[in-house]
Amino acid sequence: MTPDVEPDTPAVKLPWPDGTVIERDTWHFHSQLLKRYGIILAPGEFSGLQRAILSGKAILVQQKATGSAIYSVRIASGMKRIFVHAKAGHIFTAWPSRRPLRQLLQQLIAERVAGHSAGAAGTGAAAAACPTDAVIESEALQPGPGEVEIVGTWVIEAGGVVADQSCRRIRSLTDNHLEKIGDAPLGGGWVSLYRHPGDGRFWERDFPASDMHGGGPPRLRWLTTDQVIARYGEATVLSLDTRRQP
């Protein structure tokens, strides 16, 4: 049983490991979130969880007989999804991430994605795997000198599945800014090599969540020349060097 604070209990703030203080009636949730997921929420994120549940952005995974439910909500600072037990916006606890719940969540996401990607049939793997037509054109979104990986995420909103900013950024980079070198020999069109025309760095786009419908959201990661040779063959690099010669 999850302890609830009586309505007339005055708010009491208690110390937390990072030095902040939290309300006593949310202590159980925060302690279980730290224990089960290793996450300490950033300022404002708890209110964000409540808003996500009330607005329908959170995924209702399992309804309880008591009227409460298990929701899946994405924690931005922790870059992961958690399960929470809540009722009408009141969050009781961080629910354990057990395999049956994760499987049910994947099924729910797959069903929503299927509805969005059905219209993308025949347009290629990349289009189907990033459910949006939005393209980011800003040069400010070019990979920075110290950047080595961009990971896209699908976000569940009231209207269905949409691509987050990183997913749209990858789409924009591969469609408009990076030079495509070719596909990985054994990648089936889902793993592709690109090169930045400005600094010459190699970037590989793949879809690591292969268990999700349509291959899941994309990832773009930097490869060293040695990694490119190992994955795509030495001839690939040599042909590029030849192209660069006057």
Residues 112-165: tens digit of each pLDDT: 655 544 444 444 454 445 544 444 444 447 787 788 998 888 776 655 667 788
Residue 26 has pLDDT above 70, yes or no: yes
| Pair (86, 136) in one structural domain | no
Same domain, 122 and 238: yes
Is 133 buried (19+), middle (13-18) or exposed (0-12) by CB count in 10 A? exposed
Q: Which domain holds residue 73?
A: 13-97
DSSP structural state of residue 11: P
Residue whose pair of structure tokens reads 């961009």 in the numeric block: 150
What is the token pair recorded at 117? 């990607």
Q: Do 86 and 144 lie in a common domain?
A: no
Residues 71 and 126 both lie in one domain: no
Is the confidence at residue 62, as pLDDT, over 50? yes
Q: Contact at 8 Å (CB) between 93 and 25?
A: no
pLDDT at residue number 212: 64
Residues 23 and 29: their CA atoms lie apart, in Å, by 11
Q: Are residues 149 and 233 in the same domain?
A: yes
Q: Last residue of some domain: 43, 62, 97?
A: 97
62, 144: one domain: no
Instruction: Look at 167 and 144; give whichever has higher pLDDT.
Output: 167
d(CA 91, CA 87): 7
Q: Does residue 105 register a pLDDT over 70?
A: yes
pLDDT tier, 16 (very low <50, low <70, confident <90, very high otherwise) = low
| Within-domain flag for 1 | no
Last residue of a domain, one of 47, 67, 97: 97
Domain boundary residue among 97, 118, 136?
97
Report the domain count for the chain.
2
